[in-house]
Amino acid sequence: MHSEVRDTLSIVTEEDSVRVRQVTREKAVEAGFNLVAQTKFVTAASELARNTLKWGGGGTVRFEAVDASRGRGLRLVFEDHGPGIPDVELALTDGFSTSSGLGMGLGGAKRLVDEFDIESRVGVGTKVSITMWR
């Protein structure tokens, strides 16, 4: 599988999260996703950008074009150096998040995309990547 970084954005303010949604939409259109796939992917990106900001204390998102035997796709990698998630399984459960949203953030994002991967270490940070194939 081949992947190529297309862009990196920082997520430090709420306005940055809006920008992440807009850029994700542009890339999803470029990647040739249909409207429903675009909408799901942008929504997942929005949930993850909010998590990066709110729980991670800010971070970055990297946009990658991926090319694999199954076809072409778009991958977003969200990374923060926040407190990390002690129990990832629990965090993926609906209703987990306490302060805002419906507690659908992480688990919801996972359901909306083709591939979802999370690595988190307490005291080090969290990295979440989502991929959608065309």
Partner 1 sequence: MERIPILRMGEFLLVTIQVDMHDRLALALQEDLTNQIAHSRSHGVLIDISCLDIVDSFTARLLGNMASMARMLDAETVVVGMQPAVAITLVELGITLEGVRTALNPEKGMELLRAALRARSNEDGHAL
Cβ proximity to partner 1: between 33 and 63 the closer is 33
Interface residue with partner 1, options 35, 69, 71, 98 (CB under 8 A): 35
Take residue 31 and report the two structure tokens written for it.
């990647």
Cβ proximity to partner 1: between 3 and 43 the closer is 43
We find the least distance from the C-beta atom of residue 112 to partner 1, in angstroms, to be 6
DSSP code per residue over 104-115:
-HHHHHHHHSSE
We find the least distance from the C-beta atom of residue 70 to partner 1, in angstroms, to be 21
Number of C-beta neighbours around residue 102 at 10 A: 9
Judged by CB under 8 A, how many residues of this single chain contact partner 1?
Answer: 28
SS3 string of 35-85? HHHHHHHHHHHHHHHHHHHHCCCCEEEEEEEEEECCEEEEEEEEEECCCCC
DSSP category for residue 122: T
Residues engaged in binding partner 1 (CB under 8 A): 14-15, 17-18, 21-22, 25, 35-36, 38-40, 42-43, 46-47, 50, 94, 100-105, 107-108, 111-112
